[in-house]
């Protein structure tokens, strides 16, 4: 059963409390999700821009949120591949990850994430990833 925004927020807070302060669920629906990376000094790299690992994390959790928004609480879904292209240097501000699933099968999910700056809404990175979905238990 798909998760609502509130259910997804509660799931992430319970299962992944370490990311709760950085990544905020803004919207979730079947085959898509919108996440926010809440800017903080811990996300800066030398030169005053947001680090690649922070943007990579936003892409990863955005795809995960889109999967949960479609399938429900699948805690053991894992990233099997994630490629990211950094398009332009983001200013030190919140970033938005817009995830869209391209394929959602029984065992694999493939999606893309566009990452935008909240300063000017410009695209700063684009990622494409694949998640492995564990077999679901069947109720007899």
Q: Are 22 and 57 in contact (CB under 8 A)?
A: yes
Q: Where are the domains of the chain?
A: 5-132
The per-residue pLDDT for 44 is 79
Distance of alpha carbon 12 from alpha carbon 18, whole angstroms: 9
* Chain segment 47-89, per-residue pLDDT in tens: 888 999 999 999 999 999 999 999 988 878 899 999 999 999 9
Per-residue model confidence (pLDDT) at position 87: 96
Of 99, 102, 97, the C-alpha closest to 24 is 97
Q: How far apart are CA 111 and CA 104, in angstroms?
A: 8
In degrees to the nearest 10, what's the CA dihedral of 49, 89, 33, 12? Answer: -20
Contacts of 64 (CB under 8 A, 6+ apart): 77, 79, 131
CATH top-level class for 5-132? alpha beta
User: What is the average pLDDT across 105-124?
Assistant: 95
Q: Are 104 and 31 in contact (CB under 8 A)?
A: yes
pLDDT at 5 over 80: yes
* For the chain, percent of residues with pLDDT exceeding 70: 97
Question: Cα angle at 130 between 2 and 77, to 5 degrees?
Answer: 50
| Residue range 20-37, pLDDT digits in tens | 789 999 999 999 999 999
pLDDT of residue 137: 64
DSSP bridge partners of 114: 98, 126
Give the torsion sign (CA, 63, 64, 67, 69).
negative
Element (H, E) at 115: strand 108-117
């Amino acid at each position: 059963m798909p998760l609502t925004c509130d259910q997804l927020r509660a799931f992430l807070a319970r299962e992944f409390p370490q990311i709760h302060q950085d990544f905020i669920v803004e919207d979730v629906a079947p085959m898509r999700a919108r996440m926010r990376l809440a800017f903080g000094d811990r996300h800066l790299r030398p030169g005053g821009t947001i680090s690649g690992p922070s943007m990579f994390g936003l892409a990863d959790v955005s795809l995960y949120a889109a999967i949960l928004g479609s399938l429900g609480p699948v805690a053991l879904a894992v990233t099997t591949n994630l490629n990211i292209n950094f398009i332009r240097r983001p200013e030190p501000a919140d970033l938005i990850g817009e995830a869209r699933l391209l394929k959602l099968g029984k065992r694999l999910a493939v999606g893309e994430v566009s990452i935008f700056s909240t300063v000017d809404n410009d695209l700063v990175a684009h990622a494409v990833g694949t998640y492995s979905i564990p077999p679901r238990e069947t109720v007899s």
